[in-house]
Structure 1
């Protein structure tokens, strides 16, 4: 959050004090979407109203599904709407396929592998069809569909509550199943990934699950194409225990890779043929 009168005041309209309640709420929403977290105190100062008035405005915006209340303020829910898995499957497909090919090459026959939900991990599941015998546990419907019917791949579904947008399972049942297994390798997806924050996702249920996944595997890989590095679309984070490997594509800029290398992350950059270099 920002101190009273800083960023929110900078973006506020010149006639903020004359705004009616409806227009004020629209401005509050705009400030939340541009500034991220917004506090009651700074909003009250910006619009020259009481904190109680701001709390009523926030309650209205929350009831409309436009903001999420936080301790002492609010954050925008719709600033970066979460894409569906169907939408993401067509994004950067060549990069995802190259990443998946390299990742599949790390898996050895006879291993037990954990696959996250997500589009890039779903492509990886297709690439693993020739690595047999294999045991695969997954939270993703896309991976389940890719591996169904293959006699030499034993599949464990880590069921729970289905998130329809990501076509993945989350929640206490999924977490309980994870606690009963260990894995040679875990492959995780991400909506965004940073060197200081870890994996960024739309909800805390997803980030908690990814942290549990990382703790249950000997080797952890995060599969993220170049556009996701340094990207912070949401406010939920999964911190990963070191060491872990970031696998990305060769569209990535050196300045985007540098913070990960400095943080001790093993970074693999894959070209379209699936050949890789370590940063």
Structure 2
């Protein structure tokens, strides 16, 4: 691996974990600790990282961004879910991916595919898709929500409804057997609802923690969702609600 690629990978690792030791980075990349120290000095010189005793961390302004914090929550579960969900997407497909953190990891899993038309209201997802293979990338933009790094307003809704995705990937804040799929931000929920009748296949990605939460804004009923991808078997009531409505539940293993 050349230095430029290794430096990019170090930054990506820090975005996920927040900080790392020099020894762990050296072992992970199969290089000497001195090589990692040189990389870190270069990153520190540009202000992108901070050296600490025996390791390296991101500057507080980047480390504490709410979206970045959420990316690291339940990380292994989210990445396992993303690997499974990405398997529903084929070369040449039109794909919508929303602004949820689990959805972001799905976007990361699409690099091997070719000819995708990728649509998203998330700056992070759009950035992930830019420059990959021969993908076409479209940003459903409008007034930006800083915490979510995404757009949910009327302009974003009008733009996203121009597309008919083969697959739409939505994260959810909560799942209840009696009320279906819910979220906590009314604007975010309204944006997701705008995609429901456009997608040929609607895939919800959600870790098991969402089964014990009570949402405040309704997004979809079970009969509007084709697939629910999670990393643990849902409670019986949610399993039964999904089966009764024709929603297929997929349980991802940590090993992928």
TM-score normalised by structure 2 residue count: 0.69
CA distance, structure 2, for counterparts of residue 238 and residue 94 of structure 1: 26
CA distance, structure 2, for counterparts of residue 195 and residue 163 of structure 1: 30
Aligned length: 191
Give matches, 1:48-197, under 5 Å: 84-197=66-179
Of stretches 159-168 and 214-223 in structure 1, the one that deviates more from structure 2 is 159-168
Gaps of 5+ in 1: 1-82, 275-279
Give 1:108 deviation, angstroms: 0.6
SS, match of residue 246 in structure 2:
coil
2:255 corresponds in structure 1 to: 273
2:182 corresponds in structure 1 to: 200
CA 196–190 in structure 1, closer or farther in 2 if over 3 Å, else same: same
Give matches, 1:3-82, under 5 Å: none
* Match for residue 217 of structure 2 among 217, 224, 236: 236
Give 1:151 deviation, angstroms: 4.3
Q: Which digits, 9 at most, give the CA deviation of each residue in 1:157-201, with x for residues without a partner?
A: 000121112222101101111221111000001111223323222
2:195 corresponds in structure 1 to: 213
SS, match of residue 272 in structure 1:
coil
Alpha carbons 1:194, 1:260 under 8 Å: kept: no
CA distance, structure 1, for counterparts of residue 183 and residue 66 of structure 2: 13
Alpha carbons 1:191, 1:201 under 8 Å: kept: yes
Give 1:260 deviation, angstroms: 2.7
Larger relative contact order (CA 8 Å, sep ≥ 6): 2
Gaps of 5+ in 2: 1-64
TM-score normalised by structure 1 residue count: 0.64
Alpha carbons 1:195, 1:230 under 8 Å: kept: no
CA distance, structure 2, for counterparts of residue 198 and residue 180 of structure 1: 26
SS, match of residue 128 in structure 2:
helix
Alpha carbons 1:195, 1:263 under 8 Å: kept: no
Alpha carbons 1:178, 1:216 under 8 Å: kept: no
